[in-house]
Amino acid sequence: MTTQSPLLDAMSIRKRFGGFVALDAVDIAIRPGERVGLIGPNGSGKSTLVNCLSGAISSDTGTIRFDGRAIERLPAHQRTRLGIVRTFQIPLPFTSMTVIGNLTIPLRFAARHHAVGGTTNDVEQALLILEDVGLRDKAHEPSAGLTQVELRKLELARAVAARPKLLIADETMAGLSNSEVDEIILLLFKLNEQGIAIIMIEHIMRAVMAFSQRAIVLVAGKKIADDTTDVVINNAEVVRAYLGE
Amino acid sequence: MVTFNLLINAVVTGILLGGFYAAVTIGVTIAFGMLDIVNIAHPVFIIMGSFVAYIVNRHFGFDPILTVIVAAPLFFLLGIAIFRFYYAAFESSGKGSLRGLAFFFGIMFVIEVTLLLAFGVDYRLVQTSYIGPNIGFAHIDLPLRMVVPFVGSMALVSGLYIFFGHTFIGRAIMAVAQDEFALSLMAVDTVAVKQLAFGVAIATAGIAGGFLIVIQPVDPSLGREYIGRVFAICVLGGLGSITGTVIAALILGVVETITSTIFGPSWAPAVSFAALLLTLAIRPSGIMGR
Amino acid sequence: MRRIPSWIWPVLVALFILALSRVVKNEYYMFAGYVVLQYIVLASAWNILGGYSGYVNFGSAAFFGIGAYGAVVLDKLWQPPLVVAIVFGGIVASLVGLVTAYLTLRLRGVFFAIATLALAIVLQTLVMNWDFVGGPLGYYSVRPDSIAGFPSYVNYLFVIMLGLALIAVLVARAIELSFIGRGLAAIRDNELAAECCGVPTLRLKVFATMVSGGLMGMAGAPFPYYITYLDPNSAFSLAYGINSIAMPLIGGMTHWIGPVIGAVLLAVIQQVATVTISSELNLMIVGVLLISFITLAPNGIVGLFERYRQKRQRRLST
């Protein structure tokens, strides 16, 4: 296996809702350890793409290969086990559980399937992850009582606990203050250094610019640009789509 | 032996019955299909309507169908009261589903047992001029006790169709059904709209109760037979579509009467369950679903 | 000092009741106690799916009735020992659970609830039309006058149901404490998030439905021998449906002891009410209690108790 072979390789993904074409033959490829920003105006199909990749919904046509395996027919939990893990725009914690309890779910149900972490038990692993995201002191508190930014961190921590090779971070920063955005960006960099490829879906351009090596732009269900971040940002078509003229 | 004639009669009776089923189900179409409130107690409100018609008919000799139309505003208010309670207890706190379901299940039993304690287990019936005589043409005999509820049901459903399609309030309800969040952004009081819609749903149950007691004698636990039926029709019709509900109700009515004719009436209750499971297995969005 | 494992307590209580059943001479207590135990099985079984994963099963009566009529079929064919009938009832009921769950649980949860509601009615229709088991006329099962090792047949049935209750409670407890229970709790909190955390949601839900339905079927198998005359109305009585929902809700759904508390409380109230007032009023009491608890104390008696304990702890710590 060479370093050039992509971790994720999705080809001509199509999805229609009734008469509305949400995704129109979108290709997307991610290399191991890459940092990619996925941007586009509201309703451009970003969330649909995330849902198709993670298995929350199935695409109408197209193939998705991950780690050399065809996965487009697998249910979401099996994709998670293979290493595609997503977070949700609106955090969806398991509210009846403590913060650490939230992490034990992916540790037990996903991470076990690729036996990372050797013999250490779930609680120790969970505490290490919480340490990383800065929630260690909240470990035994009920997840229902967390603040917005803490919920975002829990969302990320829970995703990390599934031991992803590819993390899809769906608007993890929407509605956060500037300093909180910086906190999350740093956190994502830290995860990336551990070898996790990351797709960041974000409206906050500052975050995308700071974080991603490459940017993919969706407009009206079509991919209109896919290049290094500074090239994309100066692309006339992208500017037009964003500024709208 | 099932003759052709018998079959034709079964189909025609089935259509009449199906029309009545549309009136029975339309309230569930509103509450479940549009508002996402799984009111499994709906049939018991229908039985309440039947008993209102029974009491008034017995003591004053009034027409059962006119009675329930006059009583409909009371059912409307009852619906509003129940919605308020339901909303305050479950929906506003966002912990709806399981407890909301159990709540209506409890309501169902409380009302049923109340009726049982008040009226006993006997079947009750009403007396009007159109129970008994038939109208017939060609080889078909139409009992008036089926024809009158059919006509009434079609009037009720058409009225609701116009209400939801062409009045401001009706369209507001449809809009809430489609995108509650967007509507709340436009400063529409979505709770008030839903409350009103639920009131309408319960009012239709009361009216359907009047039709029911014309068609057949009623006892307090008759509602149970209708639970599977109304939800089967509602799901088959595509959840929240009035046209779909009518089509599904007619289909179920015809299939039920044909089943009764061929296999015997004791098999009729199985039809709705089969319809429900088949719909869920093959096309969960129903015939009119998007 | 090693901690005593907590599964020992249900076992000890069961042994104590077993000892008591040897001493008590009045058969009425066996007769009434059987019903209480039967509801412990139904409530614990319901809670495995309903309480742990949040999927409402209105059709307890269907699964119970399958067990009861399964026993009738076997009784007519070759009169096997009761244990065989119990196993048979459990297997058939859990297979029906498998089919219902697989067809409806892929969709929104309420479809499952509605399907189970209709299931009880349709199975009753089938049995009504099935002459082999007596149709609407019902079936008389001849029970032996005595059975070796037991003072009476009623006592034997009581002990059998005691065993089933113990099994149901231990199974519910084991599931709750295992990773399956954790997965079900994740489903209850948020199914989409659970699926995306690697929880095989469909498989867990189907599994829970099968275990739950199977236990209910097992509880139904001795029933024909208990009432000796079984008809479709008593086997598929909606009372099972409402009781097995009300008991866990009133007792508390998140802990295995909740359904047990609820079952003992409600079943005893109903046994007393049947003797003193009327059996219709039973359902009224259950309905009113159900509505009051879900609106006022959504976490049931266990929840009330925990809140009280937390309050006291806080008071002590300040």
Q: Share the mean pLDDT of chain B.
A: 87
End-to-end CA distance of chain B: 42
C104 to chain B, closest Cα gap in Å: 7
Going by C-alpha positions, the residue among C183, C169, C187, C189 that lies closest to residue C256 is: C169
Positions in chain C short of pLDDT 50? none
Task: Provide the b/e sequence for C278-298 (b: ≥16 CB within 10 Å).
Answer: eebbbbbbbbebbbebbbebb
Q: Could you tell me if C109 lies within 8 Å of chain B, comparing CB atoms?
A: yes
Q: HSE of C156 in the Cβ direction (CA atoms, 13 Å)? A: 18
Q: Which of C188, C189, C196 sits opposite A76 (nearest CB)?
A: C196
A238 to chain C, closest Cα gap in Å: 32
Average pLDDT for B168-179: 83
Q: Which of C190, C198, C202 sits opposite A109 (nearest CB)?
A: C198
Domains of chain A listed by start with CATH number? 8-243 (3.40.50.300)
- Closest-CA residue of C relative to B118 is C280
Q: Which of B32, B85, B276 sits opposite C115 (nearest CB)?
A: B276
User: Over the Cα atoms of chain A, what is R_g?
Assistant: 18
Best of A105, A116, A141, A160 to mutate (most C CBs within 10 Å, chain C): A105
Contact C287 B231 (CB under 8 A): no
Rounded distance between C-alpha atoms, residue A12 and residue A32, angstroms: 21
CB-CB neighbors (< 8 A) of B113 in chain C: 280-281, 283-284, 287
How high is the pLDDT of residue A4? 62
Where on the phi/psi map is residue A229: left (φ > 0), alpha (ψ -120 to 50), or beta? alpha
- Closest-CA residue of A relative to C299 is A96
User: Over the Cα atoms of chain C, what is R_g?
Assistant: 20
Q: For the segment B13-54, what is each residue's pLDDT rounded down to a tens digit?
A: 999 999 999 999 999 999 988 888 889 899 999 999 999 999
CB-CB neighbors (< 8 A) of C196 in chain A: 54, 56, 76-77, 80, 85-86, 88
CB-CB neighbors (< 8 A) of A76 in chain C: 195-196
Going by C-alpha positions, the residue among B203, B208, B199 that lies closest to residue B152 is: B208
Per-position pLDDT tens, chain A of length 245: 445 688 999 888 998 887 788 888 899 999 999 999 998 888 888 889 999 999 988 888 889 999 888 998 899 999 999 999 999 988 899 988 999 999 999 999 988 766 554 556 888 888 989 988 888 998 898 988 888 889 999 999 999 999 999 999 988 888 888 888 888 899 899 999 999 999 999 888 888 888 999 999 888 888 888 888 888 878 777 777 765 54
CB-CB neighbors (< 8 A) of C98 in chain B: none
Secondary structure (DSSP) of B149-162: HHHHHHHHHHHHHH
Contact B228 C122 (CB under 8 A): yes
ipTM: 0.88
Contact C291 B110 (CB under 8 A): yes
Secondary structure (DSSP) of chain C: -PPPPTTHHHHHHHHHHHHHHHH---HHHHHHHHHHHHHHHHHHHHHHHHHHH------HHHHHHHHHHHHHHHHHHT---HHHHHHHHHHHHHHHHHHHHHHHTTS-HHHHHHHHHHHHHHHHHHHHT-GGGTGGG-EEPPPPS-BTTBS-HHHHHHHHHHHHHHHHHHHHHHHHHSHHHHHHHHHHH-HHHHHHTT--HHHHHHHHHHHHHHHHHHHHTTHHHHHSEE-HHHHT-HHHHHHHHHHHHHH-SSSTHHHHHHHHHHHHHHHHHHHHS-HHHHHHHHHHHHHHHHHH-TTHHHHHHHHHHHHHHHHHH-
CB-CB neighbors (< 8 A) of B109 in chain C: 242, 283-284, 286-287, 290
* Chains in contact with C via at least 3 Cβ–Cβ pairs below 8 Å: A, B
- Closest-CA residue of C relative to B270 is C122
Q: Which of C54, C118, C295 sits opposite B227 (nearest CB)?
A: C118
CB-CB neighbors (< 8 A) of A97 in chain C: 185-186, 189
Q: Given the DSSP bridges, would you call strands A8-17 and A61-66 parallel, antiparallel or unpaired? A: antiparallel
Q: Which of C179, C185, C192 sits opposite A56 (nearest CB)?
A: C192
Where on the phi/psi map is residue C197: left (φ > 0), alpha (ψ -120 to 50), or beta? alpha
- Closest-CA residue of C relative to A107 is C197
Q: For the segment B85-139, what is each residue's pLDDT rounded down to a tens digit?
A: 988 888 765 555 678 888 898 899 899 989 988 998 889 988 888 877 777 776 7
Domain spans of chain B? 4-282
Domain spans of chain C? 8-238
How high is the pLDDT of residue C193? 93
How high is the pLDDT of residue B96? 54
Exposed/middle/buried for B32, CB within 10 Å: 0-12, 13-18, 19+?
A: buried
How high is the pLDDT of residue B278? 84
Q: For the segment B232-284, what is each residue's pLDDT rounded down to a tens digit?
A: 999 898 888 899 999 999 999 999 999 988 888 888 888 888 888 888 878 77
Which DSSP helix (H) or strand (E) runs through B196?
helix B190-215
Q: How many CB atoms lie within 10 A of CB B91?
A: 18
How high is the pLDDT of residue A245? 46
Contact B228 C291 (CB under 8 A): no
Q: How many CB atoms lie within 10 A of CB B170?
A: 18
Q: How many CB atoms lie within 10 A of CB C233?
A: 13
CB-CB neighbors (< 8 A) of C182 in chain A: 104-105, 108
Contact C183 A105 (CB under 8 A): yes
Q: Which of B109, B225, B270 sits opposite C283 (nearest CB)?
A: B109
CB-CB neighbors (< 8 A) of C241 in chain B: 105
Q: Could you tell me if B265 lies within 8 Å of chain C, comparing CB atoms?
A: no
Q: Are B225 and B269 in contact (CB under 8 A)?
A: yes
Where on the phi/psi map is residue B70: left (φ > 0), alpha (ψ -120 to 50), or beta? alpha
With a pLDDT cut of 90, the percent of chain B lying above it is 45
Best of B25, B35, B235, B280 to mutate (most C CBs within 10 Å, chain C): B280
Q: Could you tell me if B289 lies within 8 Å of chain C, comparing CB atoms?
A: no
